[in-house]
Structure 1
Amino acid sequence: MRTVRDAAFDVLRRTGMTTIFSNPGSTEIPLLAGLPDDFAFVLGLHEGAVVGMATGWAIAHNRPALALLHTTAGLGNAVGAIATARSNRAPVVIVTGQQDRRHLALEPFLAGHGLTALAGPYPVWTAEPVRPQEVPGAIARACHEAATRRGPAIVVVPQDDWAQPAEEAVLAAPGTVLRPAAVTDADVAELARLLAGARSPALVTGAGADSPEAWRALVALAERLRCPVFAEPFGSRAGFPQDHPQYGGLLPAEREGLRERLRGHDVVLAVGAAAFRQYVYRPGPLVAAGTVVAVVSDDPDEVHRSAAELAVLAPPAAVCERLAALVPERTGVAAPSFARDTAPPYTPGEPLRAVHVLGELAARLAPETILVEETPSSRPDLVRLIPARRPLGFLAAGMGGLGFALPAAVGLRMAAPDRPVVAVTGDGAALYGIQALWSAAHYHVGVLFVVLANGRYAVMDRLAEGIGAGKAPWPPFPEVSVAGLARSLGCPARRVEDLADLTAVLDEVIPALGRRDEPLLLDVAVVPDTEYRL
């Protein structure tokens, strides 16, 4: 008898979701026991790590990844990671178990209540099939929804559904969805006129422009306009080559600084980014009077929340390619050329600071490296010192919650084994996703994890000091050994306490990082930064 499980596996094969990231429970055993040989199973020791690995895998492949979670507790544990996947526009299909349909009315042990609502508004689509035969079609649709709407889609499946006959399986989803991305001259004519008439234009690029096609189009447009290109505040990916001479750095994440940085530009075009993401609230307008803001994005939410006079809802690469062909070249002005920052010199005998570690990484990382960031107190120095030189060269959690970097780096390296992957994280941040180190070790994933260990939540300390309301109540945690935790999870680790140790291990590891099949964690002792800069 052909079962719903058999039909579901056929859907997963057709959609390319044959790698299953999971931390299963009893409600998932009927699906997983006797898994077909053409499927790969990746175990994570926490649901946040599971969804984080799937998120990294989906971003690297640019197509849906599959995560399988246990009922209520498992899905609940993953909600923060699901929110991050949505913010990072990662197409992740999440299949969640449910108790046996035949006695759900009696509310048995592990019965889930309102599972499709548990993750709140963060999934792009949810389904709880009414009949077992609808499960394969629901999974197919979830794949299409995740890919089209760029986010996590959830399907809840009772554990007894998998064994039901599939003769009447309802495949209410197309086998293939084509998503044409053509843009005509007429579609961008108004935007082209705006740029053509600009006296001093500027570009702002974001995560939605992080693709080879968008980078090529944006370089052509920036060089034609001879204008500066800035990165969106708190962007999760780089939308422009940051070693290009016209790259002007990261925009401030508060209004006064944003206004000053963009002052003098009469037209500002944000590409693959909203206008404009902020962090700490400050009064006043986003831009100075006389500055016209326009937005190009294929994300409706991003477009609709932007404070802009004009927005184009279309693929950034296609729009910028047409703009580069239509907008006349600006003559009579020199293209800006920004100098690259370097780390301050290290004085022998002084304590090691995060900026010194980042400077040593900057001097050694290959252009094709994927850098995953989760170090809040040191992020300004990281994005200033280590430019993204290739598409997908930089990745951070778009939501801002902790626990993303370690599992995402594992998923990225699994999906892109030909690229070196380095995760730079604080010790406080690492503790939220530490379970991913077991998966990295068990599956021979050669990521370099660099933990900037200051024994405290340094960014929280600085923010508390900044409001001047008195001493913060939380203590430091210098007793925590991230290297010790890594070793307990089977991941090789080294403690680094001075610059000589650091440079020696980096010189040993980084040249062969692209070929490495064993993870390594560096637990680097640094003193806390004394100030926090947006």
Structure 2
Amino acid sequence: MPTVRQAVLELLRSLGSTTVFGNPGSTEMPFLDRFPGDFRYVLGLQEACVVGMADGYARASGTPAFVNLHSAAGVGHALGNVFTAQRNQAPLVITAGQQVRALLPNQPFLGATEAANFPKPYVKFSIEPARAEDVAAAIAQAFRIAQRRPCGPVFVSIPADDWGRPCEAPIPRILSPDVAPDPALIAEAAQALAVSKNPVLVVGPEVDQEGMGPALVTLAEAIGAPVLTSPFASRIAFPEDHPLFAGFLAAAPQAVSDALAPHDCVLVVGAPVFTFHVAGEAAIFRSGTPIFHLTADGDTAASAPAGTSILGSLRFAIPALQAALPEMHRAAPAPRAPTPLPQPADPIPAAYLLHRLHLAMPEDAILVEEAPSHRPAMQAQMPRTRWGSFFTMASGGLGYGLPAAVGVALAKPDQRVVCLIGDGSMMYAPQALWTAVQHGLRLTTVVINNGGYGAMRSIGQAMQVRDIPGIDLPGLDFVRIAEGMGCPAIRITHPDALDAALREACRAEGPMLVEVVVDAAVPTLYHKA
């Protein structure tokens, strides 16, 4: 009979999950002992980095990532990015060490009290198996649950002495991650779209997550309706150079209502109805406008304040709706106004930096963003046109972007990954650069240095508050931070030097960081409340 360790390693091999993201401690040593040569251990220097890297890897690869954290405090360090992974619907199987079973009744050093409850409610499944013999089966079950839609993180706590105990290997089995939508509701949505005069689509990150982008484009073209990206979409939702693409919804109720008011039917695909960041009245919910909502996320569906939610995987829902539609002939919506080209200036305008970065990036590059105050400018200057080419966090929690970019680069080693990150965000997880250096990743990190938390400045304007402490960040030197971890870096303060630096960083064989000092002007994220 194999040991728990042998059974788990063989399970991971059978699942193709031989990359382990971790930060080791004493309670993990029995699992890591004589680590097998056919596995890859990706070391993160802090547990939040570990989970962020695994999240990026899972989302870019489309497969679950296996994570091994340290007991108690290590899990605590990771929880911010566990929360983000849950919002991102990233399939992570997170394991953590626990003290040996004999010591647990006496509150031992490194013992995790109620370990399975610690990461709740931000994991889909959480367990510390009652017996060592159950550990391998619990991990197998965790993999199945992590992949069931909506995907998300799961957690297994494992006492250190369990790894050497004998156990039976789990029986291989398959659980389909997808469920089909109600045909009657699909027919109702198709009828409403057929009789509508001016429908609109609002699309979100589930489309790219399920690999249903081309099918969605075909559906939108059949309907002949403009397409808007949902607020805070964490992936590309529609090709932003397509004639039907109509722009991005803001995370403000009044703005959403104003954008949707001209339309007599709303089809929401793979997104919440709707994500808001500021308070206000969304008149669309009381207008009587039909809203149909395709999603695999039951919690999102249940929380929608209006409309008909049709639960089911988009893999089934989009083709079913396409098949139910009659042939329609609508006039093409008016094209979007072209985005003005930003001009160079001193100090460098953030929009100009983003425009030049877009031109410097290889055509197949993947963009990972954590620069919230500059997202509207990024959307204007860096249109995403390829599926799988954009990732950001759905949670709003900082400290995700750089580790996620490392994970994406590990999953896509033949593509350039560009991490666009604010100076405030960069300081949450700069140690992820070290991992990029160790693995020689093709990662370009562009730090937008506006001397503070730009999003807070903008939101303060909208809320009409002022003199807030803790927003300015003087004295940071990102070149020295990067070079201290072995990453080449350059600081740009004048537009004349910008293009050469961006080209060099986007062609480097390994990681490189470019810090760009930009105009500290406060961008407008939301109108005043």
Which residue in 2 is equivalent to 1:110?
Answer: 110
Which residue in 2 is equivalent to 1:58?
Answer: 58
Structure 1 unmatched ranges of 5 or more = none
1-side partners of 2:439 and 2:229: how far apart? Answer: 35
Q: How do residues 301-316 of structure 1 correspond to structure 2 at under 5 angstroms?
A: 301-316=299-314
Q: How do residues 37-186 of structure 1 correspond to structure 2 at under 5 angstroms?
A: 37-149=37-149, 150-166=151-167, 169=168, 171=170, 174-179=172-177
CA contact (8 A) 2:447 2:514 kept: yes
Cα deviation 1:234-292 (Å, max 9, x = unaligned): 11112211111110110121111111111110101110001111111113434572421
Which residue in 2 is equivalent to 1:262?
Answer: 260
* Equivalent in 379, 383, 390 of residue 387 of structure 1: 383
Identity %: 38
Deviation (angstroms), 1:182: 5.7
* Equivalent in 484, 488, 493 of residue 488 of structure 1: 484
CA contact (8 A) 1:368 1:389 kept: no
Q: Label 1:488 to 1:139 Cα distance change in 2 as closer, same or farther (>3 A).
A: same
**DSSP-derived class of the 1:377 partner:** helix
Does residue 291 of the first structure (1) align with residue 283 of the second (2)?
no
Which residue in 2 is equivalent to 1:411?
Answer: 407
Structure 2 unmatched ranges of 5 or more = none
2-side partners of 1:481 and 1:291: how far apart? Answer: 52
Q: Label 1:389 to 1:532 Cα distance change in 2 as closer, same or farther (>3 A).
A: same
**DSSP-derived class of the 2:148 partner:** helix
Q: Label 1:336 to 1:321 Cα distance change in 2 as closer, same or farther (>3 A).
A: farther
CA contact (8 A) 2:368 2:420 kept: yes
What amino acid maps onto 2:448 in structure 1?
A: L
Does residue 194 of the first structure (1) align with residue 186 of the second (2)?
no
Higher deviation after alignment, 430-439 or 173-182: 173-182
**DSSP-derived class of the 2:212 partner:** helix
**DSSP-derived class of the 2:351 partner:** helix
What amino acid maps onto 2:328 in structure 1?
A: R
Does residue 357 of the first structure (1) align with residue 353 of the second (2)?
yes
Cα deviation 1:201-229 (Å, max 9, x = unaligned): 00000011115842112211211222100
Which residue in 2 is equivalent to 1:445?
Answer: 441
**DSSP-derived class of the 1:378 partner:** helix
Cα deviation 1:357-400 (Å, max 9, x = unaligned): 11112233344321111111111111222111111211111111
Does residue 526 of the first structure (1) align with residue 518 of the second (2)?
yes
2-side partners of 1:198 and 1:51: how far apart? Answer: 45
**DSSP-derived class of the 1:414 partner:** helix
CA contact (8 A) 1:238 1:392 kept: yes
Deviation (angstroms), 1:475: 5.3
What amino acid maps onto 1:479 in structure 2?
A: G
CA contact (8 A) 1:427 1:452 kept: yes
1-side partners of 2:236 and 2:282: how far apart? Answer: 27
Q: Label 1:38 to 1:476 Cα distance change in 2 as closer, same or farther (>3 A).
A: same
Q: Label 1:195 to 1:465 Cα distance change in 2 as closer, same or farther (>3 A).
A: closer
Cα deviation 1:434-455 (Å, max 9, x = unaligned): 1100000011111111100122
Deviation (angstroms), 1:413: 1.0
**DSSP-derived class of the 1:195 partner:** helix
Deviation (angstroms), 1:184: 8.3
Which residue in 2 is equivalent to 1:278?
Answer: 276
**DSSP-derived class of the 1:163 partner:** coil
CA contact (8 A) 2:100 2:161 kept: yes
Which residue in 1 is equivalent to 2:31?
Answer: 31
Deviation (angstroms), 1:508: 3.2
1-side partners of 2:92 and 2:57: how far apart? Answer: 9
Q: How do residues 194-343 of structure 1 correspond to structure 2 at under 5 angstroms?
A: 194-211=192-209, 213-287=211-285, 289-331=287-329, 333-343=331-341
**DSSP-derived class of the 2:368 partner:** strand
Q: Label 1:342 to 1:163 Cα distance change in 2 as closer, same or farther (>3 A).
A: farther
TM-score (norm 1): 0.94
TM-score (norm 2): 0.95
2-side partners of 1:86 and 1:161: how far apart? Answer: 28
CA contact (8 A) 2:62 2:209 kept: no
Q: How do residues 464-483 of structure 1 correspond to structure 2 at under 5 angstroms?
A: 464-474=460-470, 476-483=472-479
CA contact (8 A) 1:295 1:311 kept: yes
What's the RMSD between the two structures over aligned residues? 1.9
Q: Label 1:181 to 1:368 Cα distance change in 2 as closer, same or farther (>3 A).
A: farther
2-side partners of 1:241 and 1:402: how far apart? Answer: 26
2-side partners of 1:449 and 1:491: how far apart? Answer: 10
* Equivalent in 371, 376, 380 of residue 367 of structure 2: 371
